[in-house]
Structure 1
Amino acid sequence: MKILAIRLKNLTSIEGTVEVDFTAEPLCSAGIFAISGPTGAGKSTLLDALCLALYDKAPRFAASVESVNLADVGDNRINQSDVRNLLRRGTSDGYAEVDFLGVDGHRYRSCWSVRRTRNKVSGSLQPQMMEVKELDTGKEFQGTKKELLAQLVELIGLTYEQFTRTVLLAQNDFATFLKSKGAAKAELLEKLTGTGVYSFISQEVFARNKAAQEEVALIHNKMSVIELIPEEEQLALQKEKELLAEKRSEGIKLLAEQNAQLNVVRSLKTQEELRTKKQKEEQGEQARLKTALDILASQEEGLVRFKAQWEAIQPDLKRARQLDVQIQSQQEGYIQSQQLLQAARKQVQEQDKRKRMVEEQLHLSYQTLRRLLNVAGTEDSLRLEQVEETLRQEEGNLSAGIETNEKRLERLNAFGYPSLAEEQVKLQKELARQQNIRQLTEALKKAMSEIEHLEKEAADCSKELSEREVALKTVQRLYENARMAVGKDVKALRRQLEEGEACPVCGSTSHPYHREQEVVDTLFRNMEQEYNAATAVYQQVNNRSIALQRDLAHQKMIAGQVREQLSAFQKESTDTGNEEQIQQRLGELAKLILEYRNLYAEWQRGDEEIKKLRSHYEALRENVSRCRLAMQKVSAANEQSVLLQNAAIAEQKRFEVIEKALDTLRRERSGLLKGKSADEAEAAVARREGELNLALEKARKEVETAQNGLSGLQGELKQIASSIEELQVRQKQIEFPEQLPEAIKKQQEENLNTERSLSIIEARLLQQAKNKAAVEQIAKELSEKQSVADRWAKLNKLIGSADGAKFKVIAQSYTLNLLLLHANKHLSYLSKRYKLQQVPGTLALQVVDCDMCDEIRTVYSLSGGESFLISLALALGLSSLSSNNLKVESLFIDEGFGSLDAESLRTAMEALEQLQMQGRKIGVISHVQEMSERISVQVQVHKKVNGKSVLSVVG
């Protein structure tokens, strides 16, 4: 990895555009160069620009910078840890750009840029942008800022932390590292080498061991709460269970015998009661049978009378049938004649209607012709031959109009209107997009400003709420004490106090409130008012805090939505120019489209005229044809009307003859069967006969049912009598039958007690079995958990600790040893007198003084210049350690040379020249005059007025 060029604009003290090109002379041939200038001129700004372009971070904005919002332009504020603070005040935009050689050997360019709204100095700061492209092919990388930064890490081969340890070296951390204590040295070494995972491993081992031990303890507690019955007690319970089971069987058997005897007694009583009931039912069935026999005789006599009446009306029925046939025959002819007459009348009406319609059509056609020709008068005054001459004239006018309008259409097609309209729509969309971006940017600025304002208000309100809560708790405690002091019991106790006698509560013989109850009540009311006021104020502040949090969440949601919309609009960018260029092109398109539309309107007017001429011509021609056709239809309709009217008159006469004959038959028929039809009379007779037969059959069934019921009751009475005799014999064998209910109740209670005792014993034995199984399961689980806990305990003893320090010190001891190997290699060039060495068993450092027979010395005995050289060796060693197998060809060293004397400075320069010979290009940032004089190629930063600096490359 190699830095090829750094460019920046309007960053901190450097105003305008500045470029440092390491591929151009004199920097191209210089292996070592100095970045020199007075303090505050802006030397470190070059390194800030380098990190901004590659990582969107700057060394001066460390993670420990406090998060505080500072005033920007207008009412806007910006966090002091925000890298956009590097934009020079009084400028509207700035950027940092770096060309570098990636790990794949290709050249890339990364650009970080920031600007203010509308590129005005008074505008609010917009989000910073990142652009990355490959210089050899011109390919631009796509994606969000986060995605581009991830791709840059892959191209460079180093993370930001690795980059600042490998390419940018600062001695301050290593001067601290050299003399710090062991734990602090481990923490600093962890930060510098990025090996913080060891602390995490140590803490995780400690946490896992603690959790494992707690699991084992928990299982022990689970086992301790399970109670097991002693073996002797379990055997006694088993024996008692067998005795109770035998007793339960005997009790059940005895209870069954007693219930059977009781059933005999109850069955005898039931059978006797049933016999009495059945005897009463037998008497009822005998009465019912007599009634049914009387009804049957009556129904048989009624059926005989009905059949005699039916024989008497047979002659009338026969004549009625003959008349019905004649009427039916005559009725069919009557209906047919009536239908024919109606059809004839309908045809006459329809023909009259058709005649009127064709006459109306003829009249309308002549009216239409007169309207089309604008001629007044009657049909006779208008001749069709004159109309046809007018048709020929209008046909010539129509052809001429069509020819003229086709020429206009050819001119319209030459305009290419679709492409003009498409371009206009595209430009209008782009103009709307740019306007939306501007509006959304302003809306986002407003939302972020509102969020900062709400966050400040919410923080202030939260602080006030905490203070109010403390005050409320204090007042509440005093109020509760005061309320207890005015309670009924306390008042009653206070009234019983006597001066000089000890109070039974506090033991005091002085009672200042004994006679001043009103004073106590007044103090309580005052305290109550103060408590209520404090509660109201706390509730008010709490409500305000909730409202602020809700408003803040709402504003953040709005800002997120605006940011998403803005990103979506920005992704739709096209190469159509800015708003002014788009407006200009839209004006040109509007003129062309207006000219097209005017010609199109002229063509439309011509087309409308042609349509009107064609419509008039076709209407005139069509109405001439209609007139001729209507005249023919009127003549044919007159002839048809005469024929239909003659046919209708003949059909009317035939209908009147048939109607008269039908009336004569109907009068004779109405005097027979009361006007009913023969079928209807027969149906009525059959219906009545059926009803009489049904009634007769029902009466027969009633008689049969009554006979069967009486027979069944008599059979049941015989059976009941037999059962009573048998039950009486069995009851005589039972001793004391009247005492059976009491004996059964007593036996049931005894059986229930036995069952309860047996259930209790069975439950205890079942619980014993469950407890044994649970103990076995827990013991198995305990064995497994104990094995895991033992392993974690051993591991925790080796490397585990709550703060992660144990394994961190062990791991960093190996890292420190490797670091010292690289550092001593560089220290051999810087100072051959000293070697760095690790104090055995610790992270402390000591130096070996080779000029004093390898005497071991403490690092605190070193001079300032010697400490600097050793710190520089450590920094260079870390650079070698961090780069691993990655070839890093650029190195920047920031300050630290001011503490060196001339000889040490010379030694440091020689060491740096050795690094240069290894293929690295080294940049030294220093304001030391002697060092600047030794390095011929320099990037000089000169201070000017108003905090402005300029940059020049000399060599």
Structure 2
Amino acid sequence: MKILAIRLKNLTSIEGTVEVDFTSEPLHSAGIFAISGPTGAGKSTLLDALCLALYDKAPRFATSVESVNLADVGDNQINQSDVRNLLRRGTSDGYAEVDFLGIDGHRYRSHWSVRRTRNKVSGSLQPQALEVKELDTEKEFQGTKKELLAQLVDLIGLTYEQFTRTILLAQNDFATFLKSKGAAKAELLEKLTGTSVYSQISQEIFIRNKAAQEEVALIHNRMSVIELIPEDELSALHQEKESLIEKRAAGIKLLAEQNTQLNVVRSLKMQEELRKKKQEEEQGEQAKLKVSLERLASQEEGLAHFKTQWEAIQPDLKKARQLDVQIQSQQGGYIQSQQILQTACGQVTEQEKKMRTATEHLQLSYRSLNRLLNHAGVEETLQLEQVETILRQEEDVLNAGVKANEERLERLNSFGYPSLAEEQVKLQKEQTRQQTIRQLTETQTKAKTEIERLEKETADCLKQLAEQDTALKTVQRLYENARMAVGKDVKALRRQLQEGEACPVCGSTSHPYHQEHEVIDTLFRNIEQEYNTAVAACQQNNNRSIALQRDLTHQKTIEEQVREQLATLQKEGLDVGDEEQIQHRLEELAKLILEYRNLYAEWQHSDEEIKKMRAYCEALRENVSQCRLAMQKVSSDKEQLTILQNAVAAEQKRFEVMEKALNTLRQERSVLLKGKSADEAEAAVARREKELNLALEQARREVETAQNRLSGLQGEIKQITLAIGELREQQKQIEFPEQLPEIIKKQQEENLNTERTFSTIEARLLQQIKNKETVEKIAKELAEKQAVAERWAKLNKLIGSADGAKFKVIAQSYTLNLLLLHANKHLSYLSKRYKLQQVPGTLALQVIDCDMCDEVRTVYSLSGGESFLISLALALGLSSLSSNNLKVESLFIDEGFGSLDAESLRTAMEALEQLQMQGRKIGVISHVQEMSERISVQVQVHKKVNGKSVLTVVG
């Protein structure tokens, strides 16, 4: 992880926009640089901006734990631990921005900002905002502020606490890692070395042990819910089961006997009812037999009468057959003649339709021809020969027009219009370019003049500002002295002075201002007014200087853009002459193009007229042809219609003769057999005879069926009477036959209760067998799971933990040993008296005092300067301890050097200077003069009036 640039605006004492770019000289080449300035100038503000942009936190608020609200603008309040307190008073907005190289090797930018409502100084503070993007792809990260901060931790590879222990050693916080708890050390070492697998192993062991214990508990619970019947109760159940089996068999046998007796009683009753029913049926069958015999006699008499009538109509039948043959012969010729007549009439109708269609088509052709010729007379009077003469005249005019237009086209082609248009566009473009160059040259001249004016005014303003600053410092000293002179304590001391007695402050025995209080107050007010006037004038001149510098930068930008545009336009120049020559040639081209366009319009108009005339001639020719064809069609259809009409008249006469003869035969035949044909009469007689025979046969079958049914009923009655006698003998042997249903119902209930009791016992015995098998299986599974759970419990006791800290601390103790090797190497340069050592079995640290016979001391017994040197050695060791997971290339140290003596300070500086060869960039914040003199590249913070500071980079 490496810091590339820090930018900030309106934070604490820094007003306006400030940038510290580590990728540009002289900071790019410097391995170590100093951030120097007087106390309160704003040196630590740079590191506050770094932390704000990356973590929305600032080191100076790390110890603010008491929740106290402070007054903000108006009636608003803000908590004293709120990072928005860093926004400079009297400003409406501010930001902190950091460019950095992430652990994945990509460049990122994080922008933290805060503003007041409506961007007014009097507005209330709004919540701070955070924006993150990748500089290489311009991809912006999305999400809430909390989500963006989590993504930044992933990109940086360190949390805020880890960042302030490895990359940023904040003021008064050097010993944080030295005295931090083991878990915090382990987490940081884990991030630096990329050995997070130990935490994952510890957590996984904890999870698996918990799961194994839960499985064992679950099996115990499963076993506890299974109930087994005691042996004595089980034996009693088996005995009761045997007893119930015997009782169930006896009950089933008794119920069968009772059902048999009940069947005898019910059968007797049913047979008696059946005999009564059969006797009633016997009476009904005897009545049906009598009716069937009467119907049979009637059918025999009707058949004899029908045969007598059939013999009487035989002569009429013979004569009817003769007439039917004659009518059939005559009717064939009649139908044929009728069909021929209908066909002929249809042909006449079709021919008339064709003739009407041809006539209409001819009339349409004449109308179309008249429309073309604008003829208003009657269609039939139009002569086609005259139309053909007109057509030839129109074609002659058309050919003359085509020839004239071809001559115009040849003249158009001779102009070479495409080359003329191309040359015109080229000249117009060059003319525009020359005009643009002239305008840009004028703009460049004006910009240069304005730049010279602004540079002169800026220099004068800066000179005047320097003079005002010098005068302001003098007035400020007078003002401070005067303010002290009118203070309450000074006034009280002055009142106690006595003439001739020495002043306890200056020792003078003369006290000129002892009684002149009003004179002193007036003098102070005059000095105060002079000081305020000087501050206002200096501020006004400073604002004017800023405005002039902004205008100067803007004019230089304009001049640069104009110069680039001029260079580009001059490269695109064409050698076609000056503007006057170009304008003259453009006028010539305009005349030629105008002449071409006029001729083209004339040719286009003539071409349209030719197209219309050609279409007119083609339409006229086609209409004349259609008229001739239509006239031929009408004449042909008229001749064919006359032939068809003559044929229809002849066929009509022949049809009338045949129709008269046929009507005579039909009239004679209609009086015989009631108009029916002989075949129909014979068929009707045969059907009637067949119906009578069938009815006779049906009557005979009915008589026979009635006799058979009557005999059957009489036999059934006899059999039923015998069965009733036997059943009555059996019923005499049954006791209480009328109570049998109730007795059987009670026996059924008793059998059902026995069966239920038996099923319950049987189910309990089966469940006992199943439960016993289940318990055996669960016991086997429990033994296996307990063996696994015991192994995981032992492993969990050694290295398992929910947060992974147990194994992480063990594993990172080895990493800590490696860290101490690096740290002791740096510590040997910083202080030969001490060595760092790991407290056995923990991640805690202790020091060995070499000057005290290698006495082991706690880190809490070190002085401030000693703690700083050892913490610096640890920080440098952490910087050296890097892996592929996280490489630390930046280190910032805020103050702490003031607690060192001259020799220790020199040693610390030499150790820091040696790190330049390792490719690390180290920033040291200190107001110690010796450090500032030894470090050539510096970021200097200068205090100005009104609590304002400015920043410059020197080297």
Q: TM-score, normalised by structure 1?
A: 0.65
- 2:181 is equivalent to residue 159 of structure 1: no
Q: Which residue of 2 aligns with 1:170?
A: 169
Question: For 1:374-422, what per-residue CA distance to the aligned partner results, in whole angstroms no more than 9, with x for missing partners?
Answer: 1222346533333234334544666757969999999999999xxxxxx
Q: Which runs of structure 2 are paired with 1:12-27 in the superposition (5 Å)?
A: 20=21, 22=23, 26=26
Judging changes above 3 Å, is the alpha-carbon distance between structure 1 residues 179 and 168 closer, same or farther for their aligned structure 2 residues? closer
Give 3-state SS (helix, strand or coil) of 2:836's partner: strand
Q: Which residue of 2 aligns with 1:647?
A: 647
Shift of 1:802: 6.6
1:61, 1:81 within 8 Å by CA — same for their partners in 2? Answer: no
1:165, 1:882 within 8 Å by CA — same for their partners in 2? Answer: no
**Percent identity at matched positions?**
69
Q: State the alpha-carbon separation in 2 of the partners of residues 883 and 711 from structure 1.
A: 122
Q: Which residue of 2 aligns with 1:362?
A: 362
Give 3-state SS (helix, strand or coil) of 2:832's partner: coil
Judging changes above 3 Å, is the alpha-carbon distance between structure 1 residues 778 and 654 closer, same or farther for their aligned structure 2 residues? same
Report the residue type matching 1:313 in the other structure: I
Report the residue type matching 2:285 in the other structure: E
Judging changes above 3 Å, is the alpha-carbon distance between structure 1 residues 683 and 901 closer, same or farther for their aligned structure 2 residues? farther
Question: For 1:913-937, what per-residue CA distance to the aligned partner results, in whole angstroms no more than 9, with x for missing partners?
Answer: 2222344444434454432211113
Judging changes above 3 Å, is the alpha-carbon distance between structure 1 residues 346 and 792 closer, same or farther for their aligned structure 2 residues? same
Give the root-mean-square deviation of aligned CA atoms.
Answer: 5.4
Q: Which residue of 2 aligns with 1:663?
A: 663
Q: Which residue of 1 aligns with 2:691?
A: 691
Report the residue type matching 2:157 in the other structure: T
Question: For 1:98-154, what per-residue CA distance to the aligned partner results, in whole angstroms no more than 9, with x for missing partners?
Answer: 789997xxxx766678999xxx999x9999574555xxxxxxx5977589x99xx99
- 2:901 is equivalent to residue 901 of structure 1: yes
Shift of 1:352: 3.2
Shift of 1:656: 1.6
Give 3-state SS (helix, strand or coil) of 1:33's partner: strand
Shift of 1:827: 1.5
- 2:846 is equivalent to residue 846 of structure 1: yes
Q: Which residue of 2 aligns with 1:569?
A: none
Question: For 1:12-32, what per-residue CA distance to the aligned partner results, in whole angstroms no more than 9, with x for missing partners?
Answer: 7696796846576x5565443
Give 3-state SS (helix, strand or coil) of 1:848's partner: strand
Question: For 1:762-783, what per-residue CA distance to the aligned partner results, in whole angstroms no more than 9, with x for missing partners?
Answer: 2332333333234334433433
Shift of 1:264: 3.0
Q: State the alpha-carbon separation in 1 of the partners of residues 708 and 599 from structure 2.
A: 114
Report the residue type matching 1:168 in the other structure: I
- 2:307 is equivalent to residue 307 of structure 1: yes
Q: Which runs of structure 2 are paired with 1:403-802 in the superposition (5 Å)?
A: 612-728=612-728, 730-731=730-731, 740-741=740-741, 743-799=743-799
Shift of 1:244: 1.8
Judging changes above 3 Å, is the alpha-carbon distance between structure 1 residues 735 and 128 closer, same or farther for their aligned structure 2 residues? closer
2:174, 2:867 within 8 Å by CA — same for their partners in 1? Answer: no
- 2:866 is equivalent to residue 866 of structure 1: yes
2:835, 2:849 within 8 Å by CA — same for their partners in 1? Answer: yes
Q: Which residue of 2 aligns with 1:271?
A: 271
Question: For 1:257-287, what per-residue CA distance to the aligned partner results, in whole angstroms no more than 9, with x for missing partners?
Answer: 3322332343334334333332332332233
Q: State the alpha-carbon separation in 2 of the partners of residues 101 and 760 from structure 1.
A: 74
1:836, 1:848 within 8 Å by CA — same for their partners in 2? Answer: yes
Q: TM-score, normalised by structure 2?
A: 0.65
Judging changes above 3 Å, is the alpha-carbon distance between structure 1 residues 265 and 2 closer, same or farther for their aligned structure 2 residues? closer
Give 3-state SS (helix, strand or coil) of 1:857's partner: strand
Judging changes above 3 Å, is the alpha-carbon distance between structure 1 residues 706 and 329 closer, same or farther for their aligned structure 2 residues? same
Q: Which runs of structure 2 are paired with 1:245-324 in the superposition (5 Å)?
A: 245-324=245-324
Give 3-state SS (helix, strand or coil) of 2:329's partner: helix
1:37, 1:43 within 8 Å by CA — same for their partners in 2? Answer: no
Deviates more, 1:332-341 or 1:791-800: 791-800
Shift of 1:704: 2.7
Shift of 1:238: 0.9
2:879, 2:888 within 8 Å by CA — same for their partners in 1? Answer: no
Question: For 1:801-853, what per-residue CA distance to the aligned partner results, in whole angstroms no more than 9, with x for missing partners?
Answer: 67776556555545444433332222222211111223334443322111222
Report the residue type matching 2:247 in the other structure: K
Question: For 1:414-466, what per-residue CA distance to the aligned partner results, in whole angstroms no more than 9, with x for missing partners?
Answer: 999xxxxxxxxxxxxxxxxxxxxxxxxxxxxxxxxxxxxxxxxxxxxxxxxxx
- 2:236 is equivalent to residue 236 of structure 1: yes
Shift of 1:736: 6.4
Shift of 1:174: 4.9
Q: State the alpha-carbon separation in 2 of the partners of residues 40 and 633 from structure 1.
A: 119
Question: For 1:216-254, what per-residue CA distance to the aligned partner results, in whole angstroms no more than 9, with x for missing partners?
Answer: 455445544444322122122212211221222122223
Q: Which residue of 2 aligns with 1:833?
A: 833
Q: State the alpha-carbon separation in 2 of the partners of residues 174 and 628 from structure 1.
A: 121
Q: State the alpha-carbon separation in 2 of the partners of residues 671 and 394 from structure 1.
A: 85
Q: State the alpha-carbon separation in 1 of the partners of residues 133 and 246 from structure 2.
A: 94
Judging changes above 3 Å, is the alpha-carbon distance between structure 1 residues 753 and 806 closer, same or farther for their aligned structure 2 residues? same
Deviates more, 1:908-917 or 1:184-193: 184-193
Give 3-state SS (helix, strand or coil) of 1:257's partner: helix
Question: For 1:189-242, what per-residue CA distance to the aligned partner results, in whole angstroms no more than 9, with x for missing partners?
Answer: 778878777777767766665665555455445544444322122122212211
1:820, 1:874 within 8 Å by CA — same for their partners in 2? Answer: yes
Q: State the alpha-carbon separation in 2 of the partners of residues 112 and 339 from structure 1.
A: 108
Q: State the alpha-carbon separation in 1 of the partners of residues 156 and 796 from structure 2.
A: 34
Q: State the alpha-carbon separation in 1 of the partners of residues 61 and 238 from structure 2.
A: 76
Q: State the alpha-carbon separation in 2 of the partners of residues 867 and 11 from structure 1.
A: 34
Report the residue type matching 2:167 in the other structure: L
Report the residue type matching 1:692 in the other structure: L
Q: State the alpha-carbon separation in 2 of the partners of residues 280 and 376 from structure 1.
A: 110
Q: Which residue of 2 aligns with 1:465?
A: none
Judging changes above 3 Å, is the alpha-carbon distance between structure 1 residues 875 and 316 closer, same or farther for their aligned structure 2 residues? farther
Greater CA radius of gyration, 1 or 2?
2
Q: Which residue of 1 aligns with 2:472?
A: none
User: How many residues in Structure 1 have an aligned counterpart in Structure 2?
Assistant: 740
Question: For 1:572-608, what per-residue CA distance to the aligned partner results, in whole angstroms no more than 9, with x for missing partners?
Answer: xxxxxxxxxxxxxxxxxxxxxxx9x999999999887
Shift of 1:41: 5.2
Deviates more, 1:864-873 or 1:877-886: 877-886
Shift of 1:654: 1.5
Judging changes above 3 Å, is the alpha-carbon distance between structure 1 residues 168 and 604 closer, same or farther for their aligned structure 2 residues? farther
Q: State the alpha-carbon separation in 1 of the partners of residues 246 and 298 from structure 2.
A: 76
Q: Which runs of structure 2 are paired with 1:1-12 in the superposition (5 Å)?
A: 6=5
2:98, 2:111 within 8 Å by CA — same for their partners in 1? Answer: yes
1:208, 1:792 within 8 Å by CA — same for their partners in 2? Answer: yes
Q: Which residue of 2 aligns with 1:77?
A: none
Q: Which runs of structure 2 are paired with 1:115-126 in the superposition (5 Å)?
A: none
2:33, 2:922 within 8 Å by CA — same for their partners in 1? Answer: yes
Shift of 1:360: 3.0
Report the residue type matching 1:877 in the other structure: G
Deviates more, 1:733-742 or 1:156-165: 156-165
2:167, 2:888 within 8 Å by CA — same for their partners in 1? Answer: no
Judging changes above 3 Å, is the alpha-carbon distance between structure 1 residues 674 and 683 closer, same or farther for their aligned structure 2 residues? same
Q: State the alpha-carbon separation in 1 of the partners of residues 796 and 635 from structure 2.
A: 125
Judging changes above 3 Å, is the alpha-carbon distance between structure 1 residues 356 and 687 closer, same or farther for their aligned structure 2 residues? same
Judging changes above 3 Å, is the alpha-carbon distance between structure 1 residues 668 and 927 closer, same or farther for their aligned structure 2 residues? farther
Q: Which runs of structure 2 are paired with 1:913-924 in the superposition (5 Å)?
A: 913-924=913-924
Judging changes above 3 Å, is the alpha-carbon distance between structure 1 residues 380 and 745 closer, same or farther for their aligned structure 2 residues? closer
Judging changes above 3 Å, is the alpha-carbon distance between structure 1 residues 700 and 882 closer, same or farther for their aligned structure 2 residues? farther
Shift of 1:623: 0.9
Report the residue type matching 2:664 in the other structure: T
